[in-house]
A and B are shown apart, each in its own frame.
Chain A
Amino acid sequence: AQSVTQLDSQVPVFEEAPVELRCNYSSSVSVYLFWYVQYPNQGLQLLLKYLSGSTLVKSINGFEAEFNKSQTSFHLRKPSVHISDTAEYFCAVRGSSGGSNYKLTFGKGTLLTVNP
Chain B
Amino acid sequence: AQKVTQAQTEISVVEKEDVTLDCVYETRDTTYYLFWYKQPPSGELVFLIRRNSFDEQNEISGRYSWNFQKSTSSFNFTITASQVVDSAVYFCALSSGYSSASKIIFGSGTRLSIRP
Q: Do A and B associate with each other?
A: no
